[in-house]
Amino acid sequence: QKEVEQNSGPLSVPEGAIASLNCTYSDRGSQSFFWYRQYSGKSPELIMSIYSNGDKEDGRFTAQLNKASQYVSLLIRDSQPSDSATYLCAVTNAGNNRKLIWGLGTSLAVNP
Amino acid sequence: EAQVTQNPRYLITVTGKKLTVTCSQNMNHEYMSWYRQDPGLGLRQIYYSMNVEVTDKGDVPEGYKVSRKEKRNFPLILESPSPNQTSLYFCASSLDRGSNIQYFGAGTRLSVL
């Protein structure tokens, strides 16, 4: 069974700090990587996608991918209380199947 | 506005009473899927559809049925609900399975008594 693992948290950071969320995956052939944010009781919403090694920045968010080490991370700069949510990592497995494998999520709390 | 619409948002029912949760998307997406989300178990795919009249089982299909007669609609049917189907359900769609940028409906919270 292909797996995506995340630390469940809660990860607690002060307002204005950098929050670092990590995700590891087991399928070495994985090609597409996604970070979704989910507020309590709400639906997941895509915040970042990354497909090649390195960093990808979008506003306060930076996704980092290292395929050799099989991890993908999400950095949130200048964290705000509104960033408090669960962050889900999702990875597409290799081959024709292209199935999306979800992690269980990391709960982030940004304290004012 | 591009959206995935699920109905109802909340539903309380009793064991054995058939129910349908509707899902509709207005983005002309080919790929649609249903998930359930439970504490400690995360998002688990129930069924998915690659296109009209093409459906397949996900990871937890037992006790559920789906149909895809039109591209925009993908209803989830529980023929005989049981308490272990109490969960938060999400419908999602994407342009195709390969892109996998999925757009989610607002969710349906189902309680089976």
Convert the pLDDT of each residue in B15-58 to its tens digit.
Answer: 999 999 999 999 999 999 999 999 989 999 999 999 999 999 99
Q: Which of chain A's residues have a Cβ under 8 Å away from the Cβ of B87? A: none
Query: What pLDDT, on a 0 to 100 scale, did the predictor assign at position A52?
Result: 93
Query: Do β-strands A61-66 and A54-58 pair in parallel, antiparallel, or remain unpaired?
Result: antiparallel
Segment A70-98 mean pLDDT: 90
Does residue B92 surpass a pLDDT of 90? yes
Residue B98's pLDDT band (boundaries 50, 70, 90)? Answer: low
**CA dihedral in degrees (B1, A85, B21, B38; nearest 10)?**
160
Q: What is the mean pLDDT of chain B?
A: 94
Q: Is the pLDDT of residue A80 over 80?
A: yes
Nearest Cα to Cα of residue A106 among A89, A83, A81: A89
Q: CB distance A88–B97 less than 8 Å?
A: no
8 Å CB contact between A57 and A73: no
The residue with greater pLDDT, B33 or A96, is: B33
B85 φ, ψ (degrees, to nearest 5): -95, 5
Q: So what's the pLDDT on residue A1?
A: 64
- Give the SS3 label for residue A88: strand
Instruction: Return the pLDDT at A97.
Output: 63
| Burial of A41 (C-beta count, 10 Å sphere; 0-12/13-18/19+) | exposed
Q: Which residue of B has its CA nearest to A93?
A: B98
| A4-28 mean pLDDT | 94
How many angstroms separate the CA of residue A79 from the nearest CA in chain B? 25
pLDDT, mean of residues B81-87: 97
Taking residues A4-8, report their average pLDDT. 92
pLDDT band at A93; cut points 50, 70, 90: confident
Give CA–CA dist A94/A70, Å, rounded. Answer: 13
Mean pLDDT of all residues belonging to chain A: 93
pLDDT at A78: 98
> Does residue B86 surpass a pLDDT of 90?
yes
- Report how far residue B95's alpha carbon sits from residue B113's, in angstroms, rounded to the nearest whole number: 37
The size of chain A, in residues, is: 112
What whole-number distance in Å separates Cα of residue A38 and Cα of residue A105? Answer: 9
- Residues in B lying within 8 Å of A, measured between beta carbons: 40-43, 45, 88, 90, 97-98, 100-107
